[in-house]
């Protein structure tokens, strides 16, 4: 059964499923080249259908994320796409929009009318794409986040389930935290399995939107002069700060309580202080100190929320608990390690498309068919994601055309030779771009749209930052062969699965810090990506060839884009960015290309 999932807020995009198998998925920003594109994802829908070879008439269901409060922006879709929704979280227009959207969600009579209006508006736009008449299903915002997280975690393998007593299997628990959606900014749910393996969520904790940690983080990022969507830079800046001067100010904004006695979170947010007195209290404090105090307070609030969820979930804890996480707050790479340290937690997985770019996936999964059964009638295992490379691929013809239209020349189109030449270049201090294979879903470049360089060469940090116009405080992250992980990182035992997607930061070993200084942040941590042949074949081969030359199975991996632009999607995007950034070499759709005038 073919299901189309769409998201039309920030991070708009589309996902096409056949059963539970992802056929194609892409975020609208990668196609329009406008960062954080929002609104009806027309181009994404057209692309996923075309790429999968699925006719509109073959789509059985269409599912969309976020039920209430969005009919106004859906009605004024063109203006919504073109505008900035009132700016950052502290601006009065953005606050008015948030209040309206979430107040509708709190009023049953209004939300029924609002949901019908949204359905009608979306049905009209789908009709323009010959998708009229398809059953249209609304999926609550945090349910969509949760289903995407559970699918990415690959919970409930047959080896875990089978006939084992319930007390001998880890519990499955999913946490969501973000800015807001459908009246909430967070939720916790237990995951149960139907006989066919389908997940069923039982929500037992919810965080009202007024208590949003995501809005706190966004508002403070705005005060520090970062653009909306750049909250990750605040996390990076925090590593070099001293929180003591600003601790009390954030204690007044995020008030921490004890264990909860009701179905809500053990923290509160003083919005009057956040949007009123906080700016004055933080005036004159170094930005790094503000960022560190904010990071510490948010981490503590998230840890208390997770503890409350673990306590309220109850049940048998002999085998521990598996945590799956999604929502924009979990783009904060420090949170995973904090949760993994909690007693009783055996694994933590952060959805690779943790923000609103993952909502289309979760919406589609809400309507997905159960897995096929084998000849004995047993349900197949829910698929885990070895890769999220479901977007546009760059073919040989497209790559050749892009090269011919530029001043570049092709060195070779033979893969094995290209890998060896690239590894030789990397070992000699060169910088290599990769635009090969299918584009990944989510904010991380994982080897298909990456910029790579030698982790030993600290001088390349400044060089590459300048070429890509990256702010100097933004750290670079390592991609490491999975079999080398124990030599390099500390505390990966409960995070190995999610580390495939570069979603968590962990401490590094003294050996790694000494040998790979360009891949280590100022606090000794690294946002690691563990690479296997299944997750990123070309990157895996490059790492192997680099290790044969240097003894290190690690390269620095950053996303292939100029700062402020989306990650490159097409061959033309890649060539333009390659020429502008002055990298040395480029893998492009099976071709190996050298830059005529590298910046070095």
Least confident of 25-29, 223-227, 377-381: 377-381
Tally Cβ neighbours within 10 Å of residue 100: 13
CATH architecture entry for 209-350: 2-Layer Sandwich (3.30)
Per-residue confidence band for 86, with pLDDT thresholds at 50, 70 and 90: low
List strands edge to edge, sheet with 59-65.
21-27, 13-18, 2-7, 59-65, 136-139
Give the number of residues written for the chain: 600
Distance, CA of 15 to CA of 93 (rounded, Å): 31
Q: What is the CATH number of domain 390-594?
A: 3.90.870.20
Instruction: Say what the pLDDT of residue 111 is.
Output: 87
Distance, CA of 505 to CA of 524 (rounded, Å): 10
Secondary structure percentages of the chain, helix, strand, coil, to 5 = 40, 20, 35
Please report how the helices 92-105 and 108-127 are oriented relative to each other, as an axis angle in degrees rounded to 10: 100
Distance, CA of 170 to CA of 192 (rounded, Å): 11
CB neighbours of 127 closer than 8 A, spacing ≥ 6? none
Q: What is the mean pLDDT of residues 550-579?
A: 97
User: What's the pLDDT tens digit per position in 124-135?
Assistant: 999 999 999 999
User: In Å, how far from its chain's centre is CA 287?
Assistant: 25
- HSE-CB for 281 with a 13 A CA cutoff: 18
User: What's the pLDDT tens digit per position in 486-525?
Assistant: 999 999 999 999 999 999 999 999 999 999 999 999 999 9
Residue carrying the six token digits 């975690």: 153
Q: What is the mean pLDDT of residues 358-365?
A: 98
Per-residue confidence band for 193, with pLDDT thresholds at 50, 70 and 90: confident
User: What's the pLDDT tens digit per position in 210-259?
Assistant: 999 999 999 999 999 998 888 999 999 999 999 999 999 999 999 998 55
Residue carrying the six token digits 């809500």: 264
- Tell me if domain 2-158+357-385 and domain 390-594 are identical in fold: no
Residue carrying the six token digits 């979603």: 503
Please report how the helices 287-313 and 231-238 are oriented relative to each other, as an axis angle in degrees rounded to 10: 100
Instruction: Say what the pLDDT of residue 380 is.
Output: 47
533: left (phi over 0), alpha (psi -120 to 50) or beta: alpha
Distance, CA of 462 to CA of 428 (rounded, Å): 17
Distance, CA of 75 to CA of 298 (rounded, Å): 35
Name the nearest CA neighbour of 393 among 47, 90, 116.
47
**CB of 512 within 8 A of CB of 488?**
yes
Residue spans per domain, the chain? 2-158+357-385, 209-350, 390-594
Q: Which two tokens stand for residue 304?
A: 């208390």
Per-residue confidence band for 314, with pLDDT thresholds at 50, 70 and 90: confident
Distance, CA of 593 to CA of 228 (rounded, Å): 35
User: What's the pLDDT tens digit per position in 1-14?
Assistant: 999 999 999 899 99
Mean pLDDT value across the chain: 91
Distance, CA of 293 to CA of 305 (rounded, Å): 19
Distance, CA of 541 to CA of 481 (rounded, Å): 10
CATH superfamily name and code, 2-158+357-385: ATPase, nucleotide binding domain (3.30.420.40)
Q: What is the mean pLDDT of residues 555-576?
A: 97
């Amino acid at each position: 059964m073919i299901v189309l999932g769409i998201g039309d807020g920030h991070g708009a995009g589309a996902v096409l499923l056949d059963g539970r198998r992802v056929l194609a998925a892409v975020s609208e920003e990668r196609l329009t080249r406008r960062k954080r594109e929002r609104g009806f994802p027309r181009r994404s829908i057209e692309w996923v259908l075309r790429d999968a070879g699925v006719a509109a008439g073959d789509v059985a269901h269409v599912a969309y994320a976020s039920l209430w409060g969005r009919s106004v922006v859906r009605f004024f879709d063109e203006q919504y796409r073109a505008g900035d929704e009132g700016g950052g979280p502290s601006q009065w227009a953005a606050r008015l929009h948030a209040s309206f959207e979430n107040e509708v969600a709190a009023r049953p009579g209004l939300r029924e009318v609002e949901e019908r209006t949204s359905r009608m508006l979306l049905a009209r736009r789908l009709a323009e794409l010959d998708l009229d008449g398809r059953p249209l299903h609304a999926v609550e915002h945090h349910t969509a986040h949760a289903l995407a997280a559970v699918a990415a975690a690959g919970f409930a393998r047959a080896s875990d389930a089978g006939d084992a007593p319930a007390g001998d299997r880890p519990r499955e628990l999913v946490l969501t935290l973000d800015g807001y959606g459908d009246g909430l900014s967070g939720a916790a749910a237990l995951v149960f399995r139907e006989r066919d393996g389908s997940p069923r969520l039982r929500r037992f904790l919810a965080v009202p939107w007024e208590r949003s940690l995501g809005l706190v983080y966004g508002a403070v990022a705005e005060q520090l002069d970062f653009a909306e969507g750049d909250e990750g830079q605040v996390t990076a800046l925090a590593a070099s700060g001293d929180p003591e001067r600003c601790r009390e100010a954030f204690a007044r904004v995020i008030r921490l309580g004890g264990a909860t006695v009701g179905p809500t979170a053990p923290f509160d947010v003083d919005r009057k202080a956040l949007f009123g007195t906080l700016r004055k209290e933080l005036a004159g404090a170094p930005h790094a100190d503000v960022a560190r105090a904010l990071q510490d307070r948010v981490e503590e609030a998230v840890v208390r929320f997770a503890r409350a969820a673990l306590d309220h979930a109850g049940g048998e804890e002999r085998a521990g608990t598996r945590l799956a996480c999604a929502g924009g707050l979990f783009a904060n790479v420090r949170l995973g390690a904090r949760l993994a340290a909690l007693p009783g937690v055996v694994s933590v997985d952060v959805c690779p498309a943790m923000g609103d770019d993952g909502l289309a996936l979760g919406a589609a999964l809400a309507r997905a068919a159960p897995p096929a059964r084998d000849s004995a009638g047993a349900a197949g295992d829910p698929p885990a994601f070895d890769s999220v490379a479901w977007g546009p691929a760059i073919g040989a013809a497209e790559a050749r055309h892009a090269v011919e239209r530029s001043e570049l020349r092709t060195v070779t189109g033979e893969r094995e030779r290209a890998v060896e030449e690239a590894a030789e270049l990397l070992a000699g201090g060169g910088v290599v771009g990769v635009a090969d294979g299918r584009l990944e879903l989510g904010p991380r470049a994982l080897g298909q749209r990456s910029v790579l360089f030698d982790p030993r060469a600290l001088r390349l940090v400044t060089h590459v930052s300048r070429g890509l116009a990256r702010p100097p405080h933004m750290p670079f992250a390592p991609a490491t062969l999975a079999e080398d992980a124990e030599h390099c990182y500390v505390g990966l035992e409960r995070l190995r699965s999610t580390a495939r997607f570069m979603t968590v930061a962990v401490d590094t070993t003294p050996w790694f810090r000494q040998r790979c200084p360009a891949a280590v942040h100022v606090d000794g941590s690294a946002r690691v990506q563990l690479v296997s042949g299944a997750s990123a074949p070309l990157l895996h081969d490059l790492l192997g060839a680099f290790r044969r030359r240097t003894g290190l199975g690690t390269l620095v991996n950053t996303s292939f884009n100029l700062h402020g632009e989306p990650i490159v999607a097409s061959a033309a995007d890649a060539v333009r960015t390659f020429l502008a950034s002055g990298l040395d070499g480029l893998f492009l759709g099976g071709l190996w290309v050298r830059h005529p005038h590298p910046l070095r």
